[in-house]
Every structure is written in structure tokens, then in C-alpha cells.
Amino acid sequence: MEKHNWLIIKIVKVTFELTASLFKILYRHVKYSAYSLIYTYKEHYGERKFGIDTCESYLYKDDLSLHKDGHPYYATPYYVIECMIAYLKLNSGDVFVDFGCGKGRVALLVSARQIEKVIAIELNPELAAIARKNSTLFKLSKTPITFINADAATCEVNEGTVFYMFNPFKETTLHTVLDNIKKSLSINPRAVRILCFKPLFSHVLDKQDWLTFEGEIGLTDVSVWRSK
Ligand SMILES: C[S@@+](CC[C@H](N)C(=O)[O-])C[C@H]1O[C@@H](n2cnc3c(N)ncnc32)[C@H](O)[C@@H]1O
């Protein structure tokens, strides 16, 4: 009889553990699906709200031969840009540089603020053309955007006070771009901030003796460094 009771207890225990595990898996899936739905909705809402076309297209194949040291186009989510702009407290003297602007989403949203200038650099001519076209569709700009279709490593950065990167390139180009910014500080001494969304090479920025890590912007994957 006692052996029988023990067996029942064991079966109940195993059933309970199995059910709990199943609920955990289900919860994770529901949470992930809800997150994906909200994300997709917010992306399409943003596109419609601003009347621009900056989503990644599955029909469009980025020409990777153009940038062997680069990454293809992905757009920074709208909510990340909103958090970033709120954090930055940009003022009229700021010059915002987007390295690898893609279709121009970040540059456009920043241009809705009254600052000195927005510079949008893109290597891929097709994407650069789309970014320019988007700027004609975007009606909220208060600040002019200078579009540059070139390799970021070759661009002059003497004016920039805020530099943004969403993993446009790999380490070699990143080193050159950071050296360019560092050199520009002796030509035009000023405080600069560098923002990276989902940075793959934060160790490269951490090692710069002229930069200090400021922190992460809450609820985003944006890390901020500033000049010392
Ligand atoms: C991940 S996307 C980011 C797009 C945009 N900044 C955003 O956050 O929405 C990276 C972009 O960098 C561009 N890129 C790659 N290498 C580059 C380089 N050396 N100079 C300028 N742009 C580059 C790619 O073509 C791509 O559009």
C-alpha cells in the first residue's frame, strides 16, 4: 500500500513538473510573438506617420561587394531613435553625423530637431539615392541634411559633435573613422559623443584613450561614449 502511495506521489510530481515546463515554453513563445507583433506594428506605423520608405526590403539584395569591411542595411527601430533623441538633448550648435545612413531614417528623424546640421554618409549609391528621395517625402525637417555618397573612412568629420553608428562597418574601417574623429579634435577642439546601437566592436571604442564610456540609453541597446 505504502509503495502504491509513493508511486502516485511520484506520478503527480512528474506531471506537475512537465506541465510547469510546458507553460514556461508557451509563455516564452507568447512573449516573443507579442514583442514581434508590437515591433512590426511600430515599424509600419512609423513609416506611415512620416511618409517614408526606410524598412529593410526582402526583395532588395544589398550589394555586399561594395563594402567588404561593411555590413548590409538594417534600419534602427523607431522607438530606439526616439529614446536616443530624448537622451541626447541636442542643441542649436550640434552637428549630427550618421555613418552609414542607409535609407536615412535616423538622419531624417534627427533633422526634425533644430540643430546646426545633419550629415548622412552612405557608401551604397542605391541606398544613398533612396535616402535623398526620403528626404523629399519627409515634411518635418527643421535642419538641413547633407547627404554624402562615400566611404565613411574618407569623409571629413571636423564639424560633427554627435556621431551615430548602427554597425555600419567592421574593425578596420571603425579604427580609421575613430582616428579621423580624434584628429579632428585638434583641428576643431570640441566635445563629441559617439553612439552605437547594438555595438559589435565596443572593445575598440573602450580602448580609445580619448574616449570615456558614458553608459547605455535605457530600454535600447545604444551605448554612448564621449570625448574626455
Ligand atoms: C546597419 S545599416 C544602418 C543604417 C542606418 N544608420 C540606421 O541605423 O537606420 C549600415 C549601413 O552602413 C552602410 N555602410 C557600410 N560600410 C560603409 C562605409 N564604409 N561607409 C559608409 N556607409 C557604409 C551600409 O550600406 C548600410 O546602409
Q: How many domains does the chain have?
A: 2
Residue 222 inside a domain? The answer is yes
Exposed (0-12), middle (13-18) or buried (19+): which is 74, by Cβ within 10 Å? middle
- Most informative mutation of 124, 176, 197, 201 for ligand 1 (most atoms within 8 A of CB): 124
Residue 221 located in a structural domain:
yes
Asked if 150 and 72 sit in the same domain, the reply is yes
Residue 46 structural domain: 1-50
Q: Is residue 56 assigned to a domain?
A: no
Mean pLDDT within 174-190: 97
Mutual angle of helices 2-50 and 78-88, in 10-degree steps: 70
228, HSE (Cβ side, Cα atoms, 13 Å): 9
Is 104 within the bounds of a domain?
yes
pLDDT tens-place string over residues 28-65: 888 888 877 887 888 888 899 999 999 876 545 556 55
CATH code, 173: 3.40.50.150
pLDDT, greater one: 43 or 159: 159
Q: Average the pLDDT over 174-194 and give the result.
A: 98
**116 burial via Cβ count (<10 Å: 0-12, 13-18, 19+):** middle
222 and 152 part of one domain: yes
Least confident of 9-23, 128-142, 193-207: 9-23
Based on the fold, state whether residues 69 and 45 are members of the same structural domain. no
**Straight-line distance from the first to the last Cα atom of the chain, in angstroms, rounded to the nearest whole number:** 77
Asked if the structure places residue 57 within a domain, the reply is no
Contact in structure between 194 and 211 (CB atoms under 8 Å): yes
Same domain assignment for residues 68 and 4: no
91 and 188 in a single domain? The answer is yes
Say what the pLDDT of residue 31 is.
83
Whether residue 24 is found in the same domain as residue 131: no
Q: How far is CA 88 from CA 95, 171, 189, 194, in A?
A: 12, 26, 20, 11
Residue 155 lies in a domain: yes
Q: Is 143 in the same domain as 214?
A: yes
Q: Which three cell numbers stand for residue 151?
A: 566611404
Residues 153 and 176 in one domain: yes
Category of 109 on φ-ψ map: left (φ > 0), alpha (ψ -120 to 50) or beta: alpha
pLDDT band at 1 (very low <50, low <70, confident <90, very high): low
Sheet of strand 162-165, all strands in order from the earlier edge strand to the far edge: 145-149, 117-122, 95-99, 162-165, 193-197, 222-227, 211-216
31-40, 97-106, 130-139, 183-192: range with lowest mean pLDDT: 31-40
User: Whole-number mean pLDDT of the chain?
Assistant: 92
Q: Are residues 154 and 182 in the same domain?
A: yes
At residue 60, the pLDDT reads 54
Q: Say if residue 80 is in the same domain as residue 20.
A: no
Ligand 1 close to Cβ of residue 151 (< 6 A): yes
Same domain, 167 and 87: yes
Pair 5, 39 in one domain = yes
Contact 43 CB / ligand 1 (< 6 Å): no
Q: Kindly list the distances between the CA atom of residue 125 and the CA atoms of 54, 55, 121, 161, 174, in Å, as whole numbers in the listed order.
A: 15, 17, 10, 25, 20
Task: Name which residue sits closest to atom 6 of ligand 1, judged by CA.
Answer: 101
**CA 100–ligand 1 middle distance (angstroms):** 3
Residue 210 domain-assigned?
yes
Of all residues in the chain, the percent with pLDDT exceeding 70 is 94
Q: pLDDT band at 66, cuts 50/70/90?
A: low
Question: What pLDDT is recorded for position 62?
Answer: 59
Within-domain flag for 55: no
Cα 51 to averaged position of ligand 1 atoms, centre (Å): 21
